[in-house]
A and B are shown apart, each in its own frame.
Chain A
Amino acid sequence: VNVSTAPVEIGEPVGDVDVVPDRPWLVIVWNDPINLMSYVVHVFQKLFGYTREKATRLMMQVHHEGKAVVSDGPREKAEIDVARLHAHGLWATMQRDA
């Protein structure tokens, strides 16, 4: 956090917004105790066209590590992916890549 008391010059960029405009958004699926493992695999295959192997690997990562990045891209794409995951009852959020 910048605690400088110096006056900010109008027109100067402030903060780090859009300094790296291409930093992608990550779509994260979180573990939950209700969704069946087989259902999560099914949804990953259906929504993202992943092979069963890749979908299963991501599901196991969610299960064991509590979360997994299932897709990434620009903000608009991430918003669509999160909505489709929510439509299927998965607990998904999005955040900018660190």
Chain B
Amino acid sequence: VSPKLRRVDDGIEVVLEAAEAALLGGIGEQLRPLLTGEAPNTDLDPVRERLYPRAYSDPTEDDAEDDWQLAVHGDLVRERVEALDALTTAISGADTRRSRRIVQVSFEDAERWLTALNDARLALGTRLGVTEDLDYTRLPREDHGAYEVYAWLTYLQGELIEALSAANDD
């Protein structure tokens, strides 16, 4: 199974096939405008609502909600774009060996990878209407490719969490 992750001295080494590296680069290109709000129809988009939900569940707290959004939204966008940048620049700058990308990820950057992979899964999963007991064969045929990407991102994120947990337990 690919990609291969292994613990190294000061982080995690991720070996990506060329196609996987290209896939993550492409996901980054699609995710960025959703994170920054530059994508069209943003105010109607459930993906944006999932990425940036309300803080106050009580609708009578709308003024507090507006103040909170004003105070934190810019930071939330910047933090998530930085996380995505950490992922994409690490991959594009990584050594290539026999067409594979050998990516060295520090523990600090691994946290950013988790954020970026999770944001990508939130965006893709929301668009696909993922549920806990989703039977992907019931998805429309044109979504099967996107679901495969989603499942692969899930696998990669899970492997990364496992590698980080193992490191924390040392």
Contact = CB atoms under 8 A, between A and B. Distances in A.
Interface of A: 28, 32-36, 38-39, 42, 46, 75, 79, 82-83, 86-89, 91-96
Contact of B72 (A42, A83, A88): A83
Contacts of B131: 33
Contacts of A89: 51, 115, 118-119, 122
User: What is the interface residue range for chain B against chain A?
Assistant: 35 or more
Contact of A88 (B118, B132, B154): B118
Interface string B47-69: 00011111111100000100010
B125 A86 contact: no
Tell me the dominant secondary structure on chain A's binding face.
Answer: mixed
A75 to B, nearest CB: 8
Nearest to B58: A95
A92 B34 CA distance: 20
Interface stretch (B1-9, B11-19, B86-94, B161-169): B161-169
Interface stretch (B20-28, B74-82, B96-104, B136-144): B74-82
B122 A34 contact: yes
Which of B51, B75, B118: most chain A Cβ within 10 A? B118
B134 interface: yes
Contact of B158 (A36, A93, A95): A36
